[in-house]
Structure 1
Amino acid sequence: MKPLPLAPRALTEPHPSRLAPDHPRRAEILRRHAEAVADGQAGYLDPETGLFVLSARFLANRGTCCERGCRHCPYVT
């Protein structure tokens, strides 16, 4: 399968439909995401739900979109 092209934005910036600019915990979520990427982790624990959220770097390295609405999907435009 041919890898998909990435969306034209930094991997650190999720699409607004996946994490709204006015989300009350946006800064914390982006901090946790950045830490996971910097540490080479696949993702981080969501501060609200405790669920594991995959990082944009992990998803980009996978090369395809699963179409499940991932918060940090690097393919959604």
Structure 2
Amino acid sequence: MNDKNREIEELHRSACESGKDSYVDPATGYTVFTEYFHLKRGHCCGSGCRHCPWKKNSQKNPKEPTDRT
């Protein structure tokens, strides 16, 4: 894992632990939804979000989140 990915993972972890729906990507300035937000929303939008907890191969019609253990 490179430094950029470590920074993103730390921002994501911190945001989820704080119950935040999003964080700002340091490279682009874009708002990125957290896994916490996606789970709270309860379904996948099919857009390929960075922290989507649903299976990537079923994003067009997801049934349940991926196993995060």
TM tier relative to shorter chain: 0.7 to 0.9
How many residues of Structure 1 are paired with residues of Structure 2 in the alignment?
56
**Where does structure 1 lack aligned partners over 5 or more consecutive residues?**
1-21
TM-score for both structures, normalised by structure 1: 0.66
In the superposition, relative to structure 1, how do residues 67 and 23 fare at CA in structure 2: closer, same or farther (>3 Å)?
Answer: farther
Aligned with residue 28 of structure 2, among 19, 39, 49: 49
**Where does structure 2 lack aligned partners over 5 or more consecutive residues?**
57-69
Q: Which runs of 4+ in 1 moved over 6 A?
A: none
Q: Within 5 A, what are the aligned runs for 1:1-77?
A: 22=1, 24-77=3-56
Q: Supply the RMSD in Å over aligned alpha carbons.
A: 1.4
Q: Relative to total residues, which structure has the larger helix share, 1 or 2?
A: 2
Percent sequence identity over aligned pairs: 39
Counterpart of 2:14, as a letter, is E
TM-score for both structures, normalised by structure 2: 0.73
Structure 1 residue 64 displacement after superposition: 0.5
Structure 1 residue 23 displacement after superposition: 5.4
